[in-house]
Amino acid sequence: MRFLRLSRANASTLLAVALVASGCTPRGLDAPTHVDWPMYRGDLRGTGYSPLTQITPDNVASLTQGWSYSLRTPTLLGGGPGQGSQEPNSQATPIVIGDVMYLPTVDRVVALDATTGEQIWWHSIVDGAPSRRGVSYWAGEDGIPPRIFFSSRRRLIALDAATGTPATDFGQSGEIDMGIPYISVPLVYENIVVVGANTPRGAPGGIGNPRAFDARTGEKIWEFSSVPQPGSVGHDTWAGDSWQGRLGANAWPFYFTMDEQRGHLYVPLASPIPFAYGGDRAGAN
């Protein structure tokens, strides 16, 4: 079964809107109700739902721009960190923890004041770029401060959420080599960071597997074979040796989802390659 991609929207500027009608101000809340948006789709179930009620069908026409922040390379805008001249083509949903918003730009990860748009910190990516789809937040534990996780092709990178500096206790100076690229948003559950795999065309099989790493150390915790190996459930649905060296069947979603009560992770997989011809792999696969 193919997994349906989320719709894409190109963007080069992050916009924030503010209510100016009905006595509301950008911060306009006599009784502020802080509801964080701590992950790409809002929660582990991927609902994309917010219980906030300040914006309604009655006042939405009164929204005006409160601030903006360019996602382009700062060197193109007159100085600062940056590499090259590429456009961001952003697909990111920013995350918000308290008053701080975190998101990737074309060549950096930044923390902004969610109310004013003021930049709190930036972290420039050397030899690559952050995933244009977003970042993840880990709350920390036992003296380890909160972290921001994101991917840059084969690299999984951890930053201190307060300062934007590398979390040096994670992997090698704040990053690990995942081995296989993943260009979407890691899922963080408890102390586990789950990533998928973006299988390059024509590459050897067996690289579509989702993997999990320890949010504290970067140590690999598990890897799930998307094409069942001998002795695994479903292996008999790949006739003969058609499971060997199989391309595709990779976990490539923008984001994973979970049933938190049961601790179940849901992993959408792409079709085996070649996706339009199954003559070399009889069976249900």
**pLDDT tens digits for 116-144?**
999 999 999 988 999 999 999 999 999 99
Q: Are 123 and 104 contacting, i.e. CB atoms less than 8 angstroms apart?
A: no
Q: Higher model confidence: residue 216 or residue 26?
A: 216
The side-by-side arrangement of strands in the sheet containing 220-223 is 187-189, 192-195, 211-214, 220-223
Q: Give the number of other Cβ atoms within 10 Å of residue 159's Cβ.
A: 24
Q: Are 122 and 77 contacting, i.e. CB atoms less than 8 angstroms apart?
A: no
DSSP per residue, 232-270: STTGGGS-TTTTTT-EE-----S--EEETTTTEEE---P
Average pLDDT over residues 89-96: 94
Q: Is the pLDDT confidence value at 23 over 50?
A: no
pLDDT of residue 252: 85
Q: Give the number of other Cβ atoms within 10 Å of residue 220's Cβ.
A: 13
Enumerate residues 6+ apart whose C-beta is below 8 A from 79.
none
What are the φ/ψ torsions at residue 60 (nearest 5 degrees)?
A: -65, -30
Q: Is the pLDDT confidence value at 19 over 50?
A: no
Cα–Cα distance between 102 and 272 in angstroms, integer?
35
- Reported as a pLDDT band with limits 50, 70 and 90, residue 10 is very low
State the burial class of residue 142 (Cβ atoms within 10 Å of its Cβ: 0-12, 13-18, 19+).
exposed
Enumerate residues 6+ apart whose C-beta is below 8 A from 88.
11, 12, 71, 72, 105, 106, 132
Q: Higher model confidence: residue 77 or residue 86?
A: 86
- Name which of 16-25, 131-140, 174-183 the model is least confident about: 16-25
Q: What is the pLDDT of residues 179-225, one digit of tens each?
A: 889 999 999 999 999 999 987 665 655 578 999 999 999 999 999 99
Q: Is the pLDDT confidence value at 77 over 90?
A: no
pLDDT of residue 85: 55
Q: Which amino acid is at 24?
A: C
pLDDT of residue 30: 39
- Name which of 35-44, 66-75, 169-178 the model is least confident about: 66-75
Enumerate residues 6+ apart whose C-beta is below 8 A from 57.
none
Q: Higher model confidence: residue 2 or residue 176?
A: 176
What are the φ/ψ torsions at residue 237 (nearest 5 degrees)?
A: -85, -5
Between CA 210 and CA 36, with CA 132 as vertex, the angle to 5 degrees is 85
Cα–Cα distance between 97 and 163 in angstroms, integer?
14
